[in-house]
Homo-oligomer: A and B are copies of this chain.
Amino acid sequence: MGNRHFGEVIGVKEGDVFADRQALHDAGVHLPTVAGIDGDSKLGSSSIVLNGGYVDDLDLGEEIIYTGHGGNKDGKQVAHQSWDDFGNKGLLISELQGLPVRVTRGAKHKSPFSPASGYQYAGLYRVTDHFEEVGKNGFNICRFRLEKIDTPTSLFTGNVGSLPAGKAAPGRTSSTVIRVVRDTALSREIKKLYGYKCQVCGVAIEVKGVFYAEGAHIKPLGKPHNGADQPDNLLCLCPNHHVMLDKGVFGINDDYTLYRMSGKIKVHAKHSLNKAHLKYHREHICIK
């Protein structure tokens, strides 16, 4: 491999329609002519095609819950999927490294956003989450949440090999991580209860006498998890352990020891964690 093109393709704009997979390939939008994921377990995946191949796909337009690769025969799941699969691993890399993924919908994909015929390029999406569940056909499936990217994303290839020169006057859009803090009364009270100390490591970040911590949900908010924004689903964590909880590096057992990592989470006498949410997180987020 060695090189892979992420982001917009010159000469192709959102809404463009292509007659068949070969035309998509020729345009540089999606290179494989059969596989749905342009998988690369080293550089990340740069494009996917939705074309009705997976019964568990959920397409809300700006947000897509996408089923990973593997175990599929004629549109039915007949075996478990694996995170080691090169397509799934590739999408995981794209998620953790913030790489844009080109999305194309085919006419066979059942959604109000599909084209009448051929393949329509739907623009750039970012992979925001991954999780695992038992699909409609009874097998474990790897799932990814993709969200549409509003701002234009510059072109780049994955394998530069040496340090690029960068830009002297990049503007704020070149930020590598944007952290939007939007507190709620509940998360504020949880953080106060713990004195802004991380429940896993005890770290508190202090900026001129003002403390910073993050409210972290155990069972995630939003579709398809639909976790609650309630005290027994909320933790006070440092940014590191928040990322690790969200990405499933560790889970929490019912006795508050950590799952898949050593340690124990501190829980205040006035606070308790919902065991069903802990179980959901262990089974769907903190996966092998």
Residues of A participating in the B interface, judged by any CB pair closer than 8 Å = 83, 89, 92-93, 95-99, 126, 153-154, 156-158, 160, 162-172, 174-191, 193, 203, 205-212, 214-217, 221-222, 226, 228-231, 233-234, 238-240, 242-244, 247-249, 270-271, 287-288
Which partner residue on chain B sits nearest A246 by CB separation? B179
How far, in Å, is A233 (CB) from chain B's closest CB? Answer: 8
| B215:A176 contact, CB within 8 angstroms | yes
The answer to whether residues A210 and B164 also contact, given A97-B188, A184-B156 and a CB cut-off of 8 A, is no
How far, in Å, is A173 (CB) from chain B's closest CB? Answer: 8
Which partner residue on chain B sits nearest A83 by CB separation? B208
Report chain B residues within 8 Å CB of A216. 176-177
**Interchain CA distance A203-B201 in the complex, whole Å:** 13
The answer to whether residues A230 and B183 also contact, given A176-B216, A239-B240, A240-B203 and a CB cut-off of 8 A, is no
The answer to whether residues A207 and B98 also contact, given A163-B190, A178-B182, A221-B170 and a CB cut-off of 8 A, is no
The answer to whether residues A181 and B249 also contact, given A162-B189, A164-B186 and a CB cut-off of 8 A, is no
| B168:A174 contact, CB within 8 angstroms | no
What's the number of copies of this chain in the assembled complex? 2
How far, in Å, is A80 (CB) from chain B's closest CB? Answer: 15
| A181:B188 contact, CB within 8 angstroms | no
The answer to whether residues A169 and B208 also contact, given A177-B181, A183-B97, A185-B160 and a CB cut-off of 8 A, is no
Interface pairs A-B: 5 shortest CB-CB: A98-B181, A172-B222, A176-B215, A239-B239, A166-B230
**Interchain CA distance A70-B3 in the complex, whole Å:** 55
**Interchain CA distance A228-B270 in the complex, whole Å:** 47
Partner of A167, one of B177, B214, B228: B228
| A96:B240 contact, CB within 8 angstroms | no
| A247:B207 contact, CB within 8 angstroms | yes
| A240:B188 contact, CB within 8 angstroms | no
Which partner residue on chain B sits nearest A90 by CB separation? B210
